[in-house]
Structure 1
């Protein structure tokens, strides 16, 4: 493989700290593996003294395999591994830990579920609640933060601290540790035992780290200790692709590397070998709006191929059908399905696209678990109202609605067997407020019985007061109300085509079966199988496709509504940058005019990707996709005049059209 000048510079770096800024498609994996080879073959470093670290087991195995290929299959004793595998090795040598002492994710969920139930904490969805707790425990440990300084967003501070301490006491009493403890214990060991730290410094004299932008606080402190006085840290990453803050990743660590190591050599891999020029230039225009980043000039090795297509459509239904048609067109042109991807911000976004692909039997695979929104706790409560309205007497259904919204009705008034509201009324005759609440509930249920599904959900929301209940719940849980309302809007929009409950319930059953079938197919999915990929922005990182479709590029969706602070908006922009740079040749971005009958605005990121108008001025040189290079001779709000050297003529063009279609570049 022939390397460019910047790649060669990185490969030949030997001693001292080095920061390699490696953007999308810049060949960073090849640089890391060849630098490892160079250290051994050219610099005479013993392979046992080299450590190559990355973040996932799959990435470590791929890196090791590529290195072995470079070394022509020779068994060279370099160490390739994840942070967790390396740190567990250190702990195993120091304390004799075994694999049986590691708390699995399943075991962690089980322990936390038991503790939550014992504390009788209130929540609507147990699975979601436990998952949020797990995420917060990881954050506390990755920051090496005293528990009293952490403020939970999942439950009250006192409850979270009690849960955290009870969880730690439980696993420690069993002599176990979880994956996050591996970091904490390794940090404490190396800090408290300089003799052990020196042993590992002698072992790992040259440390190479991939995806450095994803490192967290405690991982960084450990590798700094391991590098010791030699400071042979070779770190490779892209600050513009740091998108895992919710897991503890801190992009500011990479941005501050040269402050920690002023003598560090900084190398920019400035060629993108993956994407077309339009995609590279558009993505750079957008990401340049982030203020906390390394400034980079990146060029594409690929020619101009096609403009970035920005589609402005009315609704998600139109979007889904357009994507389905585009996929068929590209496939008819000879592009395999596996070279196409649909990318979205959250896994609730692609439901209509999934339906459209299923309807036309187009093969696809999900990189993420696509949730069945009918299994969400909000859907369960809405469906319970409707089941009771059409005759259900199940206690489980009544428990779902009894105090949603708040009616101050006691659970013990519901019998273990079939529920009869008239009998309950007889039992509470001495409580006027309870009689009034039950009579109102009975009246509401009678009204629901005669309605179509869409109207029924609307009545539950507005007439019964379910929207207000969600607002109060969001306030207690420190959530944005819009998050819950979006789920409710989605459920209501799915019900709209159905005229009666029978047909809607049949759809719910069939939809669940189709999703389950998809999940089974994902288990058996082979990498070489020809299918369109559907992925969240987070899961798409590291992948590439000939054709990429980005769903719902609207304010409130991307950037997500929860992102308010400047740092949060910058992370959302990095996510969009990751999505855009997955495309090699063709990029389609979809903008909706409305969703759930509510107007939407285009995402600020879309406007940033479009040509930078501030660069347009009379006398400036531009390039038109069809007419070549030219000089601007006239410019107003609607039109642009360009003299083209090749044809020797001036053309007056629609400014809006050439910018929207990506026909101009500087």
Structure 2
């Protein structure tokens, strides 16, 4: 569409395209450049957050910010929240910073400022509820951000929406600039992104969005599927085009995924089709336990690499929760199969990388208190908690309102902090020269002047060598950024890495098996996909008390996982799995049946000393009298309240006969047969 607009004389200056990851934005720009040539260079293509960061820097005066503001990541935000909780005398054991931080973030996604959120929280009956605490912390948290000339991810969107709403000339400026607006993955927009889009498109209403309600899987982070479901209501003259041809998956994969998603009621009906071949069958296997499941994955990968010449990068293992990756990591390691875990510790979160970035952030924004506290004693200068407290006290004594850096500088000049003299001198010199230097030059000077690498070299062990390589890789990353960016400044680089997602740092060209959660896998594709852990209670996750909305989102998540596969799709589950140290009997996920799949292969399943084959029931293990009759492991029963299920264990006898039943709704119960009124089916 962008190429078409450019070919028909629309100025690239008037086109805005937004998506959700840097990787997607880069791919979009690459494709547009190929289609439209040099004229595409002036099209504004970015993520929502990058767009907002750029607008805020250009309009900093109107937004009440300094243009060199720092963007705090989740870790930085949690530190500010924790400090705020302690300052307000709240128990951080009871009110965990991560939970309160999440509540504040959710409020910002709904465009609630601290005052509005406080009014909302005041209606809560319990005055010590999490809502009341979050409201108190929110107010102090924002004050601390302002003092540090910093914003978090939620602020980027909220401040731009406020800017456009409260400044009609600024709104008009951007409406006139962006007469043609395009949004990718529109089903993933939250309320703040929805409002921002409506504001920008309000004048010309020339907006094109692409999205799939069947792939709406991010409600837990504020995304609202209603934004795409009700798009025609917001823009009555909308033309809807169904993009139903699939270019990725085989017919068998599409038919299986289509069968599954058809069980969702709240969706726009569509039927995907493809010109690709029928392909191999979609396979579902149930294994004795999670160990057998992981071994099967490893053996299948190894055999396909050896027999079919597949590359390791052709394979991906999907799972519902992060905890499931551990067993696959261990098993693949034993089989000598290289792998990468997407979403594990990010490169920019490693300690040595954050140390150097701390210097760069402070040089960019001397008011950044989080960065100051991180690096004031790195490398060690003998500055501990007592000295840091004196720096903080000096910042506010005698009516002063200094930043921590200004306070330390004043103390150095007064001879009260000689330990920090070299530190202050380095930062001060960089502050004076930063406008005339590229980001990579500043980084190299910081690394040299601090002696960081020399200290690691002196340790001379495997870990220290790895940390040196990471610092060198950071410099390479800065140089790469400068070579691929029109703006090579330090603020531009810091903004870029602040908005990096897990998928952005994943390199699909490296020959590793990819281990990844289903949520992170969205937007990716692989020739061979293993979708694991298909068991009630694990996927769909949770207990039986699903709301219809939650269950439909779980089903959409499974659909997303299935449609990542290009050629081969293997689904699997375990008959028993250890959860929190306890062995749990499992029943296949309802999604298996809804996808029209049956067990094609299955390792024998051992339960205690009993062997149960794929379709086999055991002989009676315990017999009751009268109403109890014969009950045994593997038997299907029906309970008047809980519905149908399968007996997983039997104990006792006669009037004391008990059964453990895994019900089809996804939960299990231990029942006394005498009173349970069970019906055999």
Equivalent-residue separation in structure 1 for 2:3 and 2:574 (angstroms):
50
Cα gap change, 1:91 to 1:354, in 2 (>3 Å) = closer
Contact 1:135 1:247 (C-alpha < 8 Å) held by counterparts? no
Equivalent-residue separation in structure 1 for 2:586 and 2:565 (angstroms):
25
Equivalent-residue separation in structure 2 for 1:370 and 1:177 (angstroms):
23
Equivalent-residue separation in structure 1 for 2:563 and 2:89 (angstroms):
46
Q: Which residue of 1 aligns with 2:397?
A: none
Q: Which residue of 2 aligns with 1:195?
A: 169
1:571 matched to 2:553? The reply is yes
* Secondary structure, aligned partner of 2:209: strand
What are the Cα deviations for residues 532-551 of structure 1, in whole angstroms up to 9, with x where unaligned? 10000011111111111111
What are the Cα deviations for residues 529-583 of structure 1, in whole angstroms up to 9, with x where unaligned? 2111000001111111111111110111111106721111111111111111111
Equivalent-residue separation in structure 1 for 2:594 and 2:257 (angstroms):
9
- What's the CA shift for 1:590? 0.7
- What's the CA shift for 1:258? 0.8
Equivalent-residue separation in structure 2 for 1:130 and 1:171 (angstroms):
16
Q: Which residue of 1 aligns with 2:99?
A: 132
Q: Which residue of 2 aligns with 1:100?
A: 68
What are the Cα deviations for residues 435-473 of structure 1, in whole angstroms up to 9, with x where unaligned? xxxxxxxxxxxxxxxxxxxxxxxxxxxxxxxxxxxxxxx
Equivalent-residue separation in structure 1 for 2:109 and 2:297 (angstroms):
40
Contact 1:559 1:572 (C-alpha < 8 Å) held by counterparts? yes
Cα gap change, 1:370 to 1:86, in 2 (>3 Å) = closer
Of 213, 223, 248, the residue aligned with 2:197 is: 223
User: What does residue range 133-532 of structure 1 map to in structure 2 within 5 Å?
Assistant: 133-145=100-112, 146-147=116-117, 148-149=119-120, 156-332=130-306, 333-369=308-344, 527-532=508-513
Q: Which residue of 1 aligns with 2:563?
A: 581
Q: Which runs of 5+ in 2 are unaligned?
A: 347-462, 474-501, 599-614, 616-681
Contact 1:274 1:584 (C-alpha < 8 Å) held by counterparts? yes
* Secondary structure, aligned partner of 1:195: helix
- What's the CA shift for 1:250? 0.7
* Secondary structure, aligned partner of 2:37: coil
**TM superposition score normalised by structure 2:** 0.59
Contact 1:331 1:337 (C-alpha < 8 Å) held by counterparts? yes
Equivalent-residue separation in structure 1 for 2:43 and 2:505 (angstroms):
33
Choose 334-343 or 186-195, whichever is displaced more. Answer: 186-195
Of 541, 549, 568, the residue aligned with 2:530 is: 549
Cα gap change, 1:232 to 1:559, in 2 (>3 Å) = same
Q: Which residue of 2 aligns with 1:68?
A: 33
Q: Which runs of 5+ in 1 are unaligned?
A: 1-34, 372-512, 613-637, 639-666
**TM superposition score normalised by structure 1:** 0.61
1:89 matched to 2:54? The reply is yes
Contact 2:12 2:39 (C-alpha < 8 Å) held by counterparts? no
- Over aligned residue pairs, what C-alpha RMSD do you find? 2.9
Equivalent-residue separation in structure 2 for 1:190 and 1:310 (angstroms):
52
What are the Cα deviations for residues 407-440 of structure 1, in whole angstroms up to 9, with x where unaligned? xxxxxxxxxxxxxxxxxxxxxxxxxxxxxxxxxx
Equivalent-residue separation in structure 2 for 1:39 and 1:46 (angstroms):
8
Contact 1:348 1:370 (C-alpha < 8 Å) held by counterparts? no
Contact 2:16 2:45 (C-alpha < 8 Å) held by counterparts? yes
Cα gap change, 1:581 to 1:526, in 2 (>3 Å) = closer
Choose 110-119 or 292-301, whichever is displaced more. Answer: 110-119
Cα gap change, 1:224 to 1:75, in 2 (>3 Å) = closer
Of 521, 526, 533, the residue aligned with 1:540 is: 521
Contact 1:366 1:535 (C-alpha < 8 Å) held by counterparts? yes
Contact 2:100 2:130 (C-alpha < 8 Å) held by counterparts? no
- What's the CA shift for 1:38? 0.6
What are the Cα deviations for residues 497-531 of structure 1, in whole angstroms up to 9, with x where unaligned? xxxxxxxxxxxxxxxx9xx99x9999998542211
What are the Cα deviations for residues 73-114 of structure 1, in whole angstroms up to 9, with x where unaligned? 556311111212222333333333455313411432321121
Equivalent-residue separation in structure 2 for 1:236 and 1:75 (angstroms):
20
* Secondary structure, aligned partner of 1:267: coil
What are the Cα deviations for residues 363-406 of structure 1, in whole angstroms up to 9, with x where unaligned? 111002289xxxxxxxxxxxxxxxxxxxxxxxxxxxxxxxxxxx
Contact 1:365 1:532 (C-alpha < 8 Å) held by counterparts? yes
Aligned residues: 431
